[in-house]
């Protein structure tokens, strides 16, 4: 049986484990200038100071101060330090999970260079360890571990979708092909809400003439462990992908149009399992761009509707895939306009970092969407393109809520619609 006393000890220990030299440098440098608030859509759209990013990491700061600084240790002995209590963590839980999408914008703005969102991710480790994570994310993580998907999607559901697509299009969607060059991952949302993505993959690989496969054991790209902040869960989910890829002996694993999945598999994964992969990870946009640059992907026709691109935070700001979507879009669109703050300074849709899986955050998430709304009003486009299934769903919901009639399209899907084969469109 776990008790609050045990849990808080576990939580503090988990926070202690998170503190490294960068964290200490960050806390030492903060001068409380407040600029990070201006970078955070949860502050700008609510005007509530508690959403100031640096305030969200207070539990971690207290642990750092009392355990890793001389003055803090003295204060602790004298009983002057502020302890991390169960009540504190309970109070901070909504700030950490409902009021932060780990979008990383604060980390770009901080004048002393603090990676604040990286520290918020660290606080989540302490939250999970002390039993302070929201129900929605606990449910998603449990389903991810037990069923293999945060949305509870099983292989059967994927197979049914594949059958549909194959029947409708005459394309083949290979599963478990050993020795294929590429292994594609999918997000549950793509399987259920946007199967067009799977169809797009088939078209793209066919035209580029590349061997690819899905894995029946490792098709899910999303990683609830990353979102809830549990390295243990994240590690288990990453290991499945690594095992799947090793079993099929693929050279590349393709991260789908899903933001946090890219962070999980591309950047965090090797560190979670403590070794480098025997394969390379590429984002689908990186692959598309590379194929197009090398002439293996030919498109014809252009969209003449005015359109803009919503940068998924984890792919662009935190993933470094910024130029690729722009080159790709310019290939198939004549009237591509940028939103203000586009690229690595773009504003989050409001649903990243597990916020969309946390029903408790629905209200504040829709409020935070007002930032995207005003960005969109400025450019007044007919089509909104993005490259993350979660962003897409959140954008669709936000637009509907605000009676804005703008269709949201996935970039890979848009490119695949313009592919030509032997002078003919597929």
Write out the residues near another protein by the rule CB under 8 A: 19-26, 28-35, 37-39, 43-44, 47, 49-50, 52, 54-55, 68-71, 107-115, 118, 266-271, 273-277, 280-281, 317-320, 322, 340-341, 344-345
Residue 339 CB, nearest approach to another protein (Å): 11
Between 113 and 301, name the residue whose CB sits nearer to another protein.
Answer: 113
Q: What are the tokens at 28?
A: 């030492």
Between 55 and 358, name the residue whose CB sits nearer to another protein.
Answer: 55
Residue 240 CB, nearest approach to another protein (Å): 18
CA–CA gap between residue 397 and residue 392 (Å, rounded): 9
Residue 69 CB, nearest approach to another protein (Å): 6
Between 3 and 340, name the residue whose CB sits nearer to another protein.
Answer: 340
Residue 74 CB, nearest approach to another protein (Å): 10
**DSSP string for residues in 193-208:** T-THHHHHHHHHHHHH
The single-letter DSSP state of residue 152 is -
Residue 115 CB, nearest approach to another protein (Å): 5
Q: What are the tokens at 228?
A: 């809830």
Contact, 137 vs 224, CB < 8 A?
Answer: yes
Alpha helices in 103-154 (DSSP H): 105-109, 116-129, 135-146
Q: What are the tokens at 43?
A: 């502050």
Residue 258 CB, nearest approach to another protein (Å): 17
Q: Which helix (H) or strand (E) holds 22?
A: helix 21-29
Q: CB neighbours of 186 closer than 8 A, spacing ≥ 6?
A: 158, 197, 198, 214, 219, 220, 221, 256
CA–CA gap between residue 58 and residue 130 (Å, rounded): 16
Q: Which helix (H) or strand (E) holds 273?
A: helix 269-273
Residue 105 CB, nearest approach to another protein (Å): 9
Between 116 and 233, name the residue whose CB sits nearer to another protein.
Answer: 116
Between 247 and 344, name the residue whose CB sits nearer to another protein.
Answer: 344
Between 137 and 364, name the residue whose CB sits nearer to another protein.
Answer: 364
CA–CA gap between residue 222 and residue 187 (Å, rounded): 6
Between 73 and 360, name the residue whose CB sits nearer to another protein.
Answer: 73
């Amino acid at each position: 049986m776990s008790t609050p006393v045990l849990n808080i000890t576990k939580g503090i220990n988990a926070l202690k484990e998170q503190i490294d030299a960068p964290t200490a440098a960050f806390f030492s440098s903060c001068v409380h200038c407040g600029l990070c608030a201006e970078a955070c859509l949860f502050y700008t759209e609510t005007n509530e100071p508690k959403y100031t990013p640096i305030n969200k990491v207070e539990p971690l700061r207290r642990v750092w101060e009392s355990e890793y600084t001389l003055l803090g240790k003295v204060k602790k002995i004298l009983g002057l330090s502020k302890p991390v209590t169960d009540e504190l963590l309970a109070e901070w839980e909504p700030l950490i999970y409902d009021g932060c999408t780990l979008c990383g914008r604060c980390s770009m703005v901080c004048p002393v260079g603090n990676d604040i969102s990286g520290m918020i991710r660290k606080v989540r480790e302490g939250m999970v360890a002390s039993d302070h994570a929201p129900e929605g994310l606990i449910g998603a993580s449990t389903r991810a571990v037990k069923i293999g998907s945060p949305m509870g999607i099983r292989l059967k559901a994927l197979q049914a979708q594949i059958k549909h697509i194959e029947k409708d299009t005459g394309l083949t969607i290979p599963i478990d092909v050993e020795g294929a060059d590429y292994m594609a991952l999918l997000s549950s949302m793509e399987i259920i809400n946007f199967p067009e993505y799977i169809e797009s993959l088939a078209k793209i690989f066919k035209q580029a003439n590349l061997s690819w496969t899905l894995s029946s054991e490792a098709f899910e790209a999303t990683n609830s462990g990353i979102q809830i902040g549990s390295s243990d869960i994240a590690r288990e989910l990453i290991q499945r992908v690594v095992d799947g890829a090793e079993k099929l002996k693929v050279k590349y694993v393709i991260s789908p149009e899903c933001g946090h999945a890219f962070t999980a598999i591309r950047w965090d994964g090797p560190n979670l399992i403590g070794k480098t992969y025997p394969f390379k990870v590429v984002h689908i946009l990186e692959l598309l761009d590379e194929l197009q640059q090398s002439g293996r992907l030919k498109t014809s026709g252009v969209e003449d509707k005015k359109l803009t691109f919503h940068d998924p935070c984890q792919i662009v700001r935190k993933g470094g895939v910024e130029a690729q979507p722009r080159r790709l879009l310019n290939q198939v669109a004549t009237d591509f306009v940028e939103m203000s703050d586009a690229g690595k300074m773009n504003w989050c849709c409001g649903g990243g970092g597990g916020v969309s899986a946390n029903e408790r955050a629905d209200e504040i998430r829709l409020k935070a969407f007002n930032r995207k709304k005003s960005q969109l009003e400025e450019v007044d486009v007919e089509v909104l393109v993005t490259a993350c299934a979660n962003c897409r769903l959140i954008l669709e919901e936000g637009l509907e809520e605000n009676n804005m009639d703008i269709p949201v399209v996935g970039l890979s899907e848009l490119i695949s619609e313009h592919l030509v084969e032997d002078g003919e469109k597929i």
